[in-house]
């Protein structure tokens, strides 16, 4: 691992915008800047990408590595991007990593943006914050695993286990968007957890054409009574998203036993969908004979709700007697999970995750 001051150029890339940030020794250098993502042709996109990194390099004064999040499908270790439905310039396999590596002469690391977002929150955001709160409360429990979810144009996820991203043998770990849609089992979950899903449900319930449906931030304002519109339709759009997301997260938590962090633009409306989401996570599931049992082994708390956070930090410790010992053993029978919004901001967390990934990979060029 590098020991000298290490400068990484990072990018949070999507079909709408490209956000560039430079990081040195874990600290941002200057302000991040965002440019439109013009991906109609590959030459146009590559021109914007290299110009952005050149500008970032000039302002940083150095560049030891480039590391950034990019949509898939992709062969991330090789830096080859596959066919992207929302970025038409990427078809047939584009060696984006090697192109940038040859241009800048430094190692280039590309990963799924949700993986990097989760890594940033695991090392600098939600996990250290929660573990610090547990320590301050005198609770010996600590968390090391994190499920990160990005809610926006699509529904993405990342998993970090003991500080390391779980990428998978095919660089296809945490493809949560392909879980089944709870309310439409023939569809995948992203159809119910995305910008298009919020607009579609609002249009349906309000009885208007889809093209007339407002953007989710406006639908959130309508649901909260801050803007005129079809309030019941707006509330149903967010409620339904919470139900679909809750089931997908529940399925994931049966395998990933840790905290959950929410990022992406739609997470800003968490007050509208979190009650339904938590209801699904803390709900029940049935045996064939009709008897019910909890949906999850863990009880899930809203870490952004003070009373939930207090209960989460306290736990339910109780003494049990061990035969032959004079002092009782303290035992907490309640397995606990917490869900919270990004502590860093989605782009900042993604940038820090990209930086940490480059640091872990070292400076050797492939």
In 3-state terms, what secondary structure has residue 208? Answer: coil
**Same-domain pairing of 154 and 252:** yes
Contact 21, 346 (CB under 8 A): no
Contact 245, 270 (CB under 8 A): no
**Same-domain pairing of 185 and 256:** yes
**Same-domain pairing of 130 and 94:** no
**Same-domain pairing of 296 and 241:** yes
**Same-domain pairing of 334 and 242:** yes
CA 325 to CA 335: how far, in whole Å? 26
Give, as one character, the DSSP assignment of residue 94.
B
What burial class does residue 287 get, using C-beta atoms within 10 Å of its C-beta: 0-12 exposed, 13-18 middle, 19+ buried?
exposed
Sign of CA dihedral 13, 14, 15, 18: negative
Contact 7, 21 (CB under 8 A): no
**Same-domain pairing of 144 and 83:** no
**Same-domain pairing of 286 and 243:** yes
CA 283 to CA 11: how far, in whole Å? 39
pLDDT at position 365 over 80 = no
Straight-line distance from the first to the last Cα atom of the chain, in angstroms, rounded to the nearest whole number? 16
Q: Determine, yes or no, domain membership for 241.
A: yes
**Same-domain pairing of 130 and 107:** no
pLDDT, residue 78, reads: 93
Helix axes 96-104, 42-60, angle to 10 degrees: 40
Q: Determine, yes or no, domain membership for 1.
A: no
- In which band, very low, low, confident or very high, does the pLDDT at 30 lie, cut at 50, 70 and 90? confident
pLDDT, residue 16, reads: 75
Contact 30, 55 (CB under 8 A): no
Contact 74, 23 (CB under 8 A): no
pLDDT at position 45 over 80 = yes
**Same-domain pairing of 195 and 62:** no
Q: Determine, yes or no, domain membership for 121.
A: no
Q: Determine, yes or no, domain membership for 231.
A: yes
Q: Which two tokens stand for residue 302?
A: 């809203």
What burial class does residue 34 get, using C-beta atoms within 10 Å of its C-beta: 0-12 exposed, 13-18 middle, 19+ buried?
middle
Which range in 58-62, 67-71, 126-130 is most confidently predicted, on average pLDDT? 126-130
- In which band, very low, low, confident or very high, does the pLDDT at 288 lie, cut at 50, 70 and 90? very high
The H or E element that residue 120 is part of is helix 113-124
CA 359 to CA 337: how far, in whole Å? 29
pLDDT at position 1 over 60 = no
pLDDT, residue 2, reads: 52
Query: What is the pLDDT of the chain when averaged over all its residues?
Result: 93
In 3-state terms, what secondary structure has residue 83? Answer: coil
Contact 118, 159 (CB under 8 A): yes
- Average pLDDT value for residue range 203-208: 97
pLDDT at position 51 over 60 = yes
**Total domains, the chain:** 2
Q: Determine, yes or no, domain membership for 116.
A: no
**Same-domain pairing of 211 and 296:** yes
Q: Residue 85 sits in which domain range? A: 7-111+356-361
Kindly list the distances between the CA atom of residue 81 and the CA atoms of 88, 98, 183, 347, in Å, as whole numbers in the listed order.
Answer: 12, 11, 32, 21
């Amino acid at each position: 691992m590098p020991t000298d001051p290490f400068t990484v150029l990072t990018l949070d890339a999507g079909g709408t915008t490209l956000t560039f940030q430079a990081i040195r020794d874990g600290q941002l250098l200057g302000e991040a800047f965002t440019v439109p993502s013009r991906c109609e042709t590959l030459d146009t996109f590559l021109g914007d990408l290299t110009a952005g990194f050149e500008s970032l390099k000039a302002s940083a004064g150095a560049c030891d590595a480039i590391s950034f999040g990019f949509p898939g499908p992709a062969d991330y270790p090789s830096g080859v991007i596959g066919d992207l439905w929302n970025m038409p310039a990427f078809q047939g396999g584009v060696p984006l990593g090697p192109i940038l590596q040859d241009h800048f002469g430094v190692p280039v690391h590309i990963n799924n943006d949700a993986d990097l977002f989760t890594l940033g929150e695991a090392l600098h955001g939600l996990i250290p914050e929660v573990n610090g709160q547990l320590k301050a409360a005198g609770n010996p429990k600590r968390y090391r695993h994190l499920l990160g979810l990005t809610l926006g144009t699509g529904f993405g996820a990342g998993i970090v286990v003991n500080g390391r991203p779980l990428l998978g043998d095919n660089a296809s770990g945490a493809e949560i968007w392909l879980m089944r849609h709870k309310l439409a089992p023939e569809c995948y979950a992203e159809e119910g957890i995305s910008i298009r899903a919020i607009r579609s449900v609002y249009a349906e319930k309000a009885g208007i054409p889809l093209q007339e449906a407002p953007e989710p931030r406006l639908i959130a304002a309508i649901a909260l009574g801050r803007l005129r519109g079809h309030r019941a339709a707006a509330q149903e759009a967010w409620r339904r998203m919470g139900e679909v997301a809750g089931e997908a997260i529940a399925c994931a938590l049966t395998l990933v036993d840790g905290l959950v962090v929410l990022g992406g633009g739609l997470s800003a409306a968490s007050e509208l969908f979190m009650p339904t989401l938590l209801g699904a996570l803390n709900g029940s599931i049935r045996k064939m004979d009709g008897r019910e049992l909890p949906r999850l082994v863990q009880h899930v708390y809203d870490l952004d709700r003070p009373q939930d956070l207090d209960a989460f930090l306290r736990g339910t410790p109780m003494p049990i007697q061990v035969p032959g010992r004079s002092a009782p053993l303290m035992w907490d029978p309640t397995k606990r999970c917490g869900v919270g919004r990004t502590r860093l901001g989605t782009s900042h967390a993604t940038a820090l995750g990209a930086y940490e990934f480059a640091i872990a990979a070292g400076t050797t060029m492939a």
